[in-house]
Amino acid sequence: MTCVIIEDEIPAQKILKSFIAKIPGLKLLGTFKAAIEANSFLNTTSANIVFLDINLPDMSGLDFIKTIKNPPEIIMTTAYPDYAVSSFELDTIVDYLVKPFSFDRFLKAVNKAKERLSVPEITSEDNEETLFLNVDKTLHKIVLNSILYIESDRNYITVVTETQKLSYIDALKNWNAKLPESQFIQVHKSFIINSKFVDKISGNTLFVKANKIPIGRTFKQELLSRLGV
């Protein structure tokens, strides 16, 4: 499956390129800063997906879509959420990403396009998204999907996997921005859990691989809703 980036901001181009590189089977054909040069390319080369900014130097992304004879699946990327309603009036637009967006949100948009193209869905597990934690002057590699839960205790965070338990100074709120929102759920003021490892719920206690996690009263309804209960 192939794609094209039409984005005039270099930092935004770099983010899109790094996200595309994480997705198996998604090949980047070209990157363009303006609509006119992209139009010439698309007239001679077929692409499945176009990541399109709305504010371009020569014309708006929405106007550009109307000039494409056989438009591919379009994923809009912009810093302005106000255009969302008018964007979805165009049938070819698959999704609308508001900057800054996470890889998890980006992957969700790509999978929407894949569904319309009848291509099998890719999950975050396929990509093993990772990060490094600096604990006691040592960098520890963590696969996000392997995290069982994260616990906050005063100024410390403990990240628990099946093979690791790492503690360091940090705040739980910082982890909400790092983790795929479709998979991780805050269930207590001091706990975030990985929903794929939930074994059972008993009253206000949740079991994650035999680890007992308390459920906060204000978080319970959201937890049950996210788990489809």
What's the pLDDT tens digit per position in 183-207?
A: 899 999 999 999 989 999 999 999 9
Task: Pick one of 1.10.1040.10, 3.90.1150.10, 3.40.190.10, 2.40.50.1020 as the CATH number of 130-226.
Answer: 2.40.50.1020
* Summary mean pLDDT of the chain: 85
Looking at the predicted structure, is the pLDDT value of residue 125 above 70? no
Average pLDDT, stretch 156-170?
91
Dist. CA 166–CA 206, nearest whole Å: 21
pLDDT at residue 28 tops 60: yes
| Domains of the chain by residue range | 2-120, 130-226
- pTM value is 0.53
Phi, psi (deg, nearest 5) at residue 145: -70, -15
Which pLDDT band holds residue 122 (cuts at 50, 70, 90)?
low
Kindly report, residue by residue over 206-228, the tens digit of the pLDDT: 999 889 999 999 999 988 888 87
- Give the pLDDT of residue 140: 85
**Nearest C-alpha neighbor of 2 from the set 26, 31, 18:** 26
In terms of CATH, what superfamily is 2-120? Response regulator (3.40.50.2300)
Q: How far apart are CA 224 and CA 163, in angstroms?
A: 28
What is the per-residue pLDDT for 85? 45
SS3 for the chain is: CEEEEECCCHHHHHHHHHHHHCCCCCEEEEEECCHHHHHHHHHHCCCCEEEEECCCCCCCHHHHHHHCCCCCEEEEEECCHHHHHHHCCCCCEEEEEECCCCHHHHHHHHHHHHHHCCCCCCCHHHHCCEEEEEECCEEEEEEHHHEEEEEEECCEEEEEECCCEEEEECCHHHHHHHCCCCCEEEEECCEEEEHHHEEEEECCEEEECCEEEECCCCCHHHHHHHCCC
